[in-house]
A and B are shown apart, each in its own frame.
Chain A
Amino acid sequence: MSEKVLMKGNEAIAEAAIVAGCRHYFGYPITPQTEIAAYMAKKMPKIGGTFLQAESEIAAINMVYGVSSTGKRVMTSSSSPGISLKGEGLSYMAGCDLPALVVNVQRGGPGLGGIQPSQSDYFQSTRGGGHGDYHMIVLAPASVQEMAELTVKGFELADEYGITSMILADGTIGQMMEPVSLDFDLKPMPEKPWATTGTKMAREHNITNSLSLVPEELEKFNFARYEKYKKIEENECRYEEYMTEDADIILCAFGIAARVSKNAVNEARSKGIKVGLIRPITLWPFPKAPFAKAATHAKAFISVELSMGQMIEDIKLSTECKVPVYLCNRAGGMIPDPKMVMDMIEKVKAGEN
């Protein structure tokens, strides 16, 4: 185990990406993720990598598309409004089944919004983000250590499945410092026989292209892609359960909201109220199993979010609406505090009895 160092969440993403073998970063500055770009600007030239501040987010994502086509590990990062600009590129990459890592350190929206933390890009990221039938793997870190670990995991999953992985963080996790260890068991990078690296006159041309004008063929691509997504749903769901076994009330939260919720679980337990927490780590694929299981004994769910309740749809789908789901939220850059969650727990408990 290597020595732990204090790092900001954003810096941990950048360093973990380098450890994972990423040598190409393209981005355009935006708060609250700027430390990622700053770190890359400092480090990449020293290790033979590329840091490039593009002229826009759209340019940056298309540079990612280009490098990914050559089989190299590549990433970009931005925050909410910048991710919207990248939407077209994300869709094009999905149409080419290209692996990449995209980081969204969310801020309040819609529009230009604010610069304080938010989770209101849940719909956008879990439903693909751009046009067309596609998904990204969406990873939601709740600590600086997870910012690093899920970055590595994100690259590995992207390469394994030919898909974009998105780190869906928020301004708090991006800005906070915690001890982090950057000692990873890296999987060997897989062969990429599809990469456009020159034929050397020894093979057929590789082409990455999302244009497909024959509907019968495009349909085949769509169906095949969803076979792949099915496999990801079966194999890659990640979540953490905290004191759920005997819980009457289940809190559901990811990222910073899960940290706040954990405090509330501890406080509720100290008052004798049986509360647990399910923390999805993958938001797509959504970990339905622990929710379905909890719905067999819990009387109520409370979704704790920094949005207007975007995750509730997935909770209801996972539990087939068997148990009521309440919302405890702040929005626009505000963060619920443990007391607010505790008040909601007591309100729900009173209502359920």
Chain B
Amino acid sequence: MSTREFLFSGFGGQGILFAGKFLSYKGLIEEKQVSWLPSYGPEMRGGTASCSVIVSDNPVGSPIVSNPDVLVAMNLPSLDRYEQSVKPGGVIFVDSTLIERKVNRDDVTVYYIPATRLASDNKLGNLANMIIVGKIMSVFDEFTDESVDAALAKVISAKHADMLDVNKNALKLGAEYTKE
């Protein structure tokens, strides 16, 4: 991997920014160059939320991801808006609980994960975001206990230490998910 550009998108409250932050810290721990850029502004209140994350072996130029290698779409407006922007050969992760339609491209790899349903079935609260992140890590063969533990410790404050295991479980569930 020289440079991987992620675009996370969904609605406010789905943990879009948090998912991006987790992967940024994972990159930092692995001594990569990283950038994390949220959308900000009035649209965050209940509307769409998105964040650009770049993980690279080289210094990051523009932190704005216009053509992602990896798109995470956690609601339909996000998929509608960003589907065509994904680079040919890229990967799209779709929360198939909330998005019923299929991706209309044949030059990208798509993973449909019913993340929101898996989260509620497994009493993982609103951790659909981390289920998808787990799947991303396994797809790129980057899922190790060490990297998960280290990055989680960075993004979850000591005050919420009880959330560490829950997040790890969500990551694992996503990593192990294969189409039912």
- Name A residues whose Cβ lies closer than 8 Å to a Cβ of B: 4, 6, 31-32, 115-116, 171-172, 175-179, 256, 259-260, 262-263, 266, 335, 337-339
Contact = CB atoms under 8 A, between A and B. Distances in A.
B36 interface: yes
B60 interface: yes
Interface stretch (B37-45, B106-114, B142-150): B37-45
Interface of B: 21, 24-25, 28, 33-38, 40-42, 60-64, 66, 154
Contacts of A172: 37, 63-64
A178 B27 CA distance: 11
B34 A259 contact: no
Contacts of A179: 28, 33-34
User: Which one of A31, A171, A177, A179 has the greatest number of beta carbons of chain B within 10 Å?
Assistant: A177
A6 B21 contact: yes
Contact of B36 (A32, A177, A259, A339): A177
Contact of A260 (B21, B34, B62, B154): B62
Contacts of B33: 179
A175 B37 contact: yes
B61 A266 contact: yes
Contacts of A171: 40
Please report whether the interface of chain B is mostly helix, strand, loop or mixed according to DSSP. Answer: mixed
A31 B42 CA distance: 10
Contacts of A116: 41
B64 A260 contact: yes
7 contacts: A6-B28, A31-B40, A32-B40, A175-B38, A176-B37, A176-B38, A256-B62
A260 B154 CA distance: 29
Contacts of A115: 40-42
A175 B60 CA distance: 16
A4 B37 contact: no
B61 A262 contact: yes
Nearest to B66: A337
A36 to B, nearest CB: 14
A260 B62 CA distance: 5
Contacts of A178: 34-36, 60, 63
B39 to A, nearest CB: 9
A335 B64 contact: yes
A260 B61 contact: yes
Contact of A176 (B25, B41, B42, B63): B63
A323 B64 CA distance: 31
A262 B40 CA distance: 24
Nearest to B155: A6
A338 B37 contact: no
Nearest to A267: B61
A259 B35 CA distance: 12
A179 B30 CA distance: 12
A263 B36 contact: no
Given A178-B60, A260-B61, A6 B41 contact: no
A172 B35 CA distance: 11
A32 B40 CA distance: 8
A176 B28 CA distance: 15
A71 B27 CA distance: 42
B40 A175 contact: yes
B141 to A, nearest CB: 24
B121 to A, nearest CB: 32
B62 A259 contact: yes
Nearest to B32: A179
A337 to B, nearest CB: 5
